[in-house]
Amino acid sequence: MAAEGPGAVGRAPVCLCVLCGLPASGKSTLAREVLSTAAEHGWRVSLVPYDDLIPDHAFQARVVEDGVNMQEMHTEWKLHRQAVLRCIEQFLDKGQVFASMPSSFPINSDAWERCIGALDRSETEHTPLLFLLDDNFYYPSMRYEVYQLARKHSLGFCQVYLQCDLESCIRRNQSRSQPIPTDVMLDMAKRLESPNPQRNPWETNSVSLNTTDNLSKCDIHKVIELISSALSNPLSPVEDNTEQMEADRLKCATSLVHQADQACRRLISEAMKTARESQVPPEDMRTLAAQLNESKAAFLHGMRTQLLQEACFAQGEDIDVERVVKRAVDVFDQEKKEILSRIIR
């Protein structure tokens, strides 16, 4: 789609609004409030719930001895997320309900049709269009992909972070018909990085709501004002130096973390081999694999966060990649040895 505007939706303003926060923090409740208010502002609204669109098997972590399958599942989950954005882009580009996507990573077509079925009407195609993206979005990189889509097509972009006490989220989650395991909630809370405009200038158009208690009319008003502003001020497709530096920084960090990940996986394989040779029971082998993969995931996340915060890294100075990766992997190697030692004992 050309920068001058999406084809099927004419030149109507379009906004991508990211709803992020822990499960049960109130994102779905907020979405319902926005949907009920949208008509008063003459907006078309599509709610895009990632939980409905992405099949369950994409989230299931299958741990094996060397951790390979866990890595593949994470990759599959990411590709499903990208397929959701591709569907949105296809609709904006051609007004089609279904987008072409990798056949091996399809999203739920019935759920997607429900998302935008009501929007596929020629008589309303020139009215403002709002996509509410309902997901946890706990990593900035997840939200940045949405921002890039908005920037590419000169759309409005904004974020609403629902900040809720962890205990309240866990309590609400447990009352659901299909609750998320508490250990998953706890792990997600550790990894969640809320919007930070000081560190990420592209997150400037964001608001944070405290949803430990019920949403107030003031909260809804803030969100409506945020969306209205985003619709009136679409992003420019022209990238400045700051944007390019940010993209390069993210790319470099991703490359370093990827190399560290490969090295860590080799260390895990070595640890599993040592455990087998030590005749560790099968149940303890599974425990060892799970602990090593959990440690690796936390280690890589911490590494990525540290890289993005380091001043020399942010300024784009030359980096000794081999030295950085080796120094980081040495830290994980020590953690691996401690975990292996506990299991063997």
Same domain for 168 and 43, yes or no, is yes
Same domain for 97 and 190, yes or no, is yes
Same domain for 192 and 246, yes or no, is no
The pLDDT value given to residue 33: 92
Q: Is 70 inside any structural domain? A: yes
Same domain for 24 and 126, yes or no, is yes
Q: Is 84 inside any structural domain? A: yes
Same domain for 218 and 287, yes or no, is no
Whether the pLDDT of residue 164 is over 50: the answer is yes
Confidence of residue 219 (pLDDT cuts 50, 70, 90): very high
Confidence of residue 184 (pLDDT cuts 50, 70, 90): confident
Count of helices and strands (H, E) across the chain: 12, 5
Lowest mean pLDDT among 102-111, 186-195, 222-231, 275-284: 102-111
Q: Is 3 inside any structural domain? A: no
Which residue range(s) make up the domain with 218? 14-232
Q: Whose CA is closest to 43, among 118, 133, 102? A: 118
Residue where a domain stops, chosen among 192, 209, 232: 232
Whether the pLDDT of residue 134 is over 80: the answer is yes
Same domain for 112 and 207, yes or no, is yes
CB atoms within 10 A of CB 283: 8
Q: Is 6 inside any structural domain? A: no
Same domain for 204 and 150, yes or no, is yes
Residue type, position 15, single letter: C
User: What's the CATH number where 164 sits?
Assistant: 3.40.50.300
pTM of the model: 0.65
The pLDDT value given to residue 230: 96
Q: Is 152 inside any structural domain? A: yes
The pLDDT value given to residue 6: 44
Whether the pLDDT of residue 325 is over 70: the answer is yes
Confidence of residue 209 (pLDDT cuts 50, 70, 90): very high
User: If you average pLDDT over residues 293-300, what whole number do you get?
Assistant: 89
The pLDDT value given to residue 205: 94
Residue where a domain stops, chosen among 180, 215, 232: 232
Q: Whose CA is closest to 292, among 65, 75, 59, 72? A: 65
Same domain for 188 and 300, yes or no, is no
**% of residues, the chain, pLDDT over 70:** 77
Same domain for 93 and 170, yes or no, is yes
Q: Measured between alpha carbons, how far is 197 from 44 in angstroms, rounded to an integer?
A: 28
| Cβ contact 267:47 at 8 Å | no
Q: Is 51 inside any structural domain? A: yes
User: If you average pLDDT over residues 271-300, what whole number do you get?
Assistant: 89
Residue where a domain stops, chosen among 200, 232, 264: 232
CA atoms within 13 A on the CB side of 45: 22
Decide which of 305 and 150 is more confident: 150
Same domain for 262 and 306, yes or no, is yes
User: If you average pLDDT over residues 175-196, what whole number do you get?
Assistant: 87
CB atoms within 10 A of CB 167: 9
The pLDDT value given to residue 71: 42
The pLDDT value given to residue 7: 40
Q: pLDDT by residue (tens digit) across 5-23?
A: 444 445 689 999 999 999 9
Confidence of residue 133 (pLDDT cuts 50, 70, 90): very high
User: If you average pLDDT over residues 298-310, what whole number do you get?
Assistant: 79
Strand ranges in the chain using DSSP code E only, listed in sequence order = 14-20, 44-49, 129-134, 156-163, 206-210
Q: Is 9 inside any structural domain? A: no
Q: Is 91 inside any structural domain? A: yes
pLDDT, averaged across the chain? 80
Same domain for 199 and 102, yes or no, is yes
Cα dihedral across residues 212, 213, 219, 224: positive or negative: positive
What domain count does the chain have?
A: 2
The angle formed by the CA atoms of residues 159, 227 and 26, to the nearest 5 degrees, is 55
Residue type, position 328, single letter: A
Same domain for 32 and 91, yes or no, is yes
The angle formed by the CA atoms of residues 52, 54 and 58, to the nearest 5 degrees, is 135
Report how far apart the first and last C-alpha atoms of the chain are (Å, whole number).
60
